[in-house]
Structure 1
Amino acid sequence: MKKSILSAMALAFAFAMPSAAQDGLLKKYDRRLTTPRNYVCYRTTERMKIDGKLNEKVWQKAAQTESFVDISGFDFPKPIYDTKARLLWDDEYLYISAVLEEPNIVANLTQRDTIIYHDNDFEVFLDPTGDGQNYFEIENNARGVIFDLMLDRAYRSGGNFHIQWDCPGLKLAVQHDGTLNKQKDTDRSWTVEMAIPHKAVTRNFANPLKAGNIWRLNFSRVQWLKKGGPEENWVWTPTGEINMHAPNQWGFLQFSDKVAGNGTDEFQCPYNMEAYKVLWALFYAQLDQHGKDGRYTSSLAVLGLTDSDLATLPKGSNIEMEATTHQFRASVLVGGTGKRYVVDHNGKFEVQ
């Protein structure tokens, strides 16, 4: 593949563009490059009964997430109904609960693995390895009907979904503070409670459910405010576009060995976010380049990278771009860390 390499020092001399053209990739893709939310997940020692009632005392000790926001960004209108989630874990399961404010609880679909978001629904997206490959999605409606699937990579990179994956050992229940499918009364909310066994999302025999590990996670709520749509997409951390399948923009889920209610841990971001954002800006620029010309490019200048972009990186960083017509590999060596962040045309992310 052809290769282009630029360092922080070299970039200032690499582009001779007028200042008006120096906005760069970070500004161009800023909506898709917001800093994801994070959640520190604590252990439970209680025996959890998955019934949707959330009667276990430990649920009240688990912090709520922030209220869900519009998928397109924090500056979009606030959802008219509130949604928050809580998480816990033990040696076997990741536990998730959510309360969805809802004045009219409706659910029509009854068969597993139908397209559940045609009803109002609650959705969980999990990428335990954080590489954007072979991730998991679990959806359910207010009847507790499940649509679960695995995706080999995001749709934007030509990904395929595998509906035949049924989350083995999944426990899920819902409860209604109101009545289901009765239009004439006023309801208050519905509740989801689930237990996802780590074995269902484990790859290569490496149990990802361990203290200190950080997963990528997001929640989505699809809400039909009127018949025929359009649907609302309310999420925990926004992706900057109406597309949940952007694992790089999901939130961070950090596992703590502390029992819920017995102290707290600070979230430790696994990445230098300035370098992370530049890398993903290059990824989005390559997708646009391919959409325009039918090919990728090794030229950072053609992609629109500017000295203002590279100025955000730690001192001593450098960028490499390798590309052929049909594939590319972008990397950012993060100055002062010895770590290199890498992403390819499939959206596979790794730290070397």
Structure 2
Amino acid sequence: MASASNSPVSSSPFQPHWNLYPRTYVVPKISFPLLDHLDGDLTKDVWKDVPFSDVFDDIRGATDSPAEDRPNPQCRTRFKAVWDETHLYIGAILQSDFETQAHFAERNAPIFQKDSDFEVFVDMFGSCHHYKELEVNAINTPWNLMLDKPYDDGGVEHSGRIAKPGDDLYYEVEHQKTATKVISGKLNDPKNPATWSIEVALSYRDLLAHVKGKEHFVAKSGSMLRINFSRVEKRGAINWTWQPQIVWDPHRRRYAGYVAMHLPDSWGYFVLGGQHHARENNPNDLVAPKDPSWPGRLAAMNIYYAQKAYSQQNGGTYATTVTELTDLVDAIILEPFRVEINLTKEGYVASLAGNPDGSIVTVRQDRLLSIAQIDQVTSSTG
């Protein structure tokens, strides 16, 4: 989990990077014991002054979404969030003008395959590895899973759906709670579509399972994490998200939207605030702190996507210099950085120096992103 920074973000040459910064929600801290009162009801006093997020939109973003695929205003999806020392709490309302499907009743069932589905994705340290996913339907059936890395990078599901305790692929939460409530209409009734709400308590202990460096985490004001939300309807024909899934496309030489939630480098940010934070009309109206490592992260992912395309074009080999990737990268994003690429047995490691916060950002062929301060690099190599 990164620490927030209020350092200027308008100075050249990093303005193009900050222009591509994803959505941010400032999460207020609470002292109310919400964990003991989860019932799916967002009219409780604890939620009263907490602002809603932006309304979810097509997963691809406005540029790549056909008009007919954009969400109907009557199917609004929004969330709120608060936190305490043990849990991150999400509350959401899902409106609908079509049938709300809710059939799966067994824990860890593949809910998205049939039911109306609310999903939360969390990458605590923004490494793109060992991130967690929760899916819940309107009758409060959860499916928890962990991805050791994205599917496109050879990642596999770890869950109680496919493995038993003690197996390598087993993952289960121990401190999570969820609750749902039908606000209006009826489930599984096309003539009377249901609007429903959900409350989720995500335990930091569960979110940090298998994550390198988890022992250094302490929930505190100013901490950050990468997160996104998805609403899936009609067996995946509809995918609406809070932060569009937009990444660099080396073939089209532009940032493009994809129907793919497992692009953790494209997710938004939560900033843990104080008890006075985010109590405004809209969290996006606040001047939220930004991740100081963002320019390096964006540039590193430029290298990642370019190397992936280069490998496809060159029989599985990777470039050893940025010059070889000239036609596949966003030159403006890479310009401020000193890039070194070293081939490894598995693929490569690209290191980028020159980040405005003084950090060194590295990325591997399997999308693993790492952030280290120069003093950390020196102490580990000296």
TM-score by length of 2: 0.76
Give a deviation string over 1:92-129, Cα, whole Å, max 9, x none.
Answer: 21100111111322211111111111122000001111
1:160 matches 2:153: no
Other-structure match for 2:303: 282
Higher percent of residues as strand: 1
Q: How does 1:197-208 map to 2 (within 5 A)?
A: 197-202=203-208, 203=211, 204-208=214-218
Q: Distance in 1 between matches of 2:321 and 2:216?
A: 38
Other-structure match for 1:41: 27
Other-structure match for 2:189: 182
Letter in 2 for 1:217: I
Aligned-pair Cα RMSD in Å = 2.6
What is the aligned-residue identity percentage? 28
Other-structure match for 1:191: 197
Q: Distance in 1 between matches of 2:333 and 2:364?
A: 22
1:215 matches 2:225: yes
Aligned residues: 315
Q: Distance in 2 between matches of 1:196 and 1:335?
A: 32
Following superposition, the deviation at residue 313 of structure 1 comes to: 5.4
Is contact 1:283–1:343 with CA below 8 Å preserved after alignment?
yes
Instruction: Tell me which of 235, 239, 242 is aligned to 1:236.
Output: 242
1:245 matches 2:262: yes
Is contact 1:296–1:326 with CA below 8 Å preserved after alignment?
no
Following superposition, the deviation at residue 155 of structure 1 comes to: 1.2
Following superposition, the deviation at residue 196 of structure 1 comes to: 1.3
Q: Cα–Cα, structure 1 residues 195 and 210, in superposed 2: closer, same or farther, change >3 Å?
A: same
Other-structure match for 2:94: 100
Letter in 1 for 2:125: T
Give the gaps of 5 or more residues in structure 2: 1-15, 161-170, 246-256, 373-382
Instruction: Give secondary structure in 1 for the equivalent of 2:28.
Output: strand
Q: Distance in 2 between matches of 1:106 and 1:123?
A: 15
Q: Distance in 2 between matches of 1:326 and 1:261?
A: 44
Instruction: Give secondary structure in 1 for the equivalent of 2:216.
Output: coil
Is contact 2:123–2:132 with CA below 8 Å preserved after alignment?
yes
Q: Distance in 1 between matches of 2:85 and 2:326?
A: 47
Q: How does 1:9-20 map to 2 (within 5 A)?
A: none
Instruction: Tell me which of 35, 39, 43 is aligned to 1:55.
Output: 43
TM-score by length of 1: 0.82
Q: How does 1:261-276 map to 2 (within 5 A)?
A: 266-271=287-292, 273-276=294-297
Q: Distance in 1 between matches of 2:57 and 2:324?
A: 35
1:148 matches 2:158: no
Following superposition, the deviation at residue 65 of structure 1 comes to: 1.0
Following superposition, the deviation at residue 257 of structure 1 comes to: 2.5
Instruction: Give secondary structure in 2 for the equivalent of 1:193.
Output: strand
Q: Distance in 1 between matches of 2:349 and 2:278?
A: 44
Letter in 2 for 1:248: D
Moved over 6 A (4+): 261-265
Is contact 2:49–2:279 with CA below 8 Å preserved after alignment?
no
Q: Cα–Cα, structure 1 residues 254 and 309, in superposed 2: closer, same or farther, change >3 Å?
A: same
Q: Which has the higher contact order (CA 8 A, sep 6+)?
A: 1
Q: Cα–Cα, structure 1 residues 95 and 107, in superposed 2: closer, same or farther, change >3 Å?
A: same
Letter in 2 for 1:37: R
Instruction: Give secondary structure in 1 for the equivalent of 2:148.
Output: strand
Q: Distance in 1 between matches of 2:191 and 2:288?
A: 45
